[in-house]
Chains A and B, each alone.
Chain A
Amino acid sequence: MRFSVRGRAVLEVALLSVLAVVMLFPVLWMIETSLKENRDVYAVPAKLFNFDVTLDHYRDVFVSSGLSVAFLNSVIVAGASTVLATVLGVPAAWAYSRFAVKAKKDQLFFILSTRFMPPVVVVIPIFLMYRYIGLIDSALGLILIYTAFNVPFTIWMMKGFVDEVPAEYEDAAMLDGYTRLQAFRKFTLPLLVPGIAATAVFALIFSWNEFVFAIFLTSSDEVRTAPPAIAGLIGGTTVDWGLVAASSVVFALPVLIFAYLVRKHLVAGVTLGAVRR
Chain B
Amino acid sequence: MGTVAAHGLRKSFGKVQALDGVTLDVPDGSFFVVLGPSGAGKTTTLRAIAGLEQLDAGSVHLDGRDATGDTPAERDLAMVFQSYALYPRRTAYENIASPLRARRRSPGEIAAAVDRVASLLHIERLLQRRPAQLSGGEMQRVALARALVRSPRAFLMDEPLTNLDLKLRVEMRTELTRIHRSLGATFVYVTNDQVEALSMADRVAVLKEGKVQQIGTPAEVYERPANQWVAGFVGSPPISLLPCQAQGDHLVGAEGWTLPRPRWATAEDGRALVLGLRAEDLSVERRGDASLPGELYGLEPLGDRTVVDVRVGTEILKVKARPTVTGSPGERLRVTVDLDRAHLFDAGTGLSLAKAGTR
Decide yes or no whether B128 CB sits under 8 A from chain A: no
Question: Does B81 lie within 8 Å of A100, measured CB to CB?
Answer: no
Decide yes or no whether B71 CB sits under 8 A from chain A: yes
Question: Does A166 lie within 8 Å of B73, measured CB to CB?
Answer: no
Decide yes or no whether A110 CB sits under 8 A from chain B: no
Closest 4 CB pairs of A and B: A177-B102, A168-B85, A174-B72, A176-B99
CA separation between A178 and B102, bound complex, in Å?
A: 6
Main secondary structure of the interface of A (DSSP, over half): helix
Question: Does B83 lie within 8 Å of A175, measured CB to CB?
Answer: no
Question: Does B102 lie within 8 Å of A169, measured CB to CB?
Answer: no
- Residues of B near any A CB (own CB < 8 A): 47, 50-52, 54, 71-73, 77-79, 81, 83, 85, 87-89, 98-99, 101-103, 146
A-B contacts, 25 listed (Cβ < 8 Å)? A100-B54, A166-B85, A168-B83, A168-B85, A169-B85, A169-B87, A171-B47, A171-B85, A172-B79, A172-B85, A172-B98, A174-B51, A175-B50, A175-B72, A175-B73, A175-B78, A175-B99, A176-B98, A176-B99, A176-B101, A176-B102, A177-B102, A177-B103, A180-B71, A187-B87
- Residues of A near any B CB (own CB < 8 A): 100, 166, 168-169, 171-180, 182, 187, 190-191
Contact partners of A177 in chain B: CB under 8 A: 73, 99, 102-103
CA separation between A108 and B103, bound complex, in Å?
A: 37
Contact partners of A168 in chain B: CB under 8 A: 81, 83, 85
Shortest CB-to-CB span from B77 to chain A, Å, is: 6
CA separation between A163 and B294, bound complex, in Å?
A: 56
The chain A residue sitting closest to B51, CB to CB, is A174
Contact partners of B54 in chain A: CB under 8 A: 100
CA separation between A11 and B160, bound complex, in Å?
A: 56
CA separation between A18 and B73, bound complex, in Å?
A: 63
The chain A residue sitting closest to B82, CB to CB, is A168
Contact partners of A100 in chain B: CB under 8 A: 54
- Most chain-A Cβ atoms within 10 A of its Cβ — which of B51, B77, B85, B101? B85
Shortest CB-to-CB span from B16 to chain A, Å, is: 13
CA separation between A100 and B11, bound complex, in Å?
A: 13
Question: Does B73 lie within 8 Å of A174, measured CB to CB?
Answer: yes
Contact partners of A171 in chain B: CB under 8 A: 47, 50, 52, 72, 79, 81, 85
CA separation between A137 and B73, bound complex, in Å?
A: 51
The chain A residue sitting closest to B77, CB to CB, is A175
CA separation between A190 and B103, bound complex, in Å?
A: 21
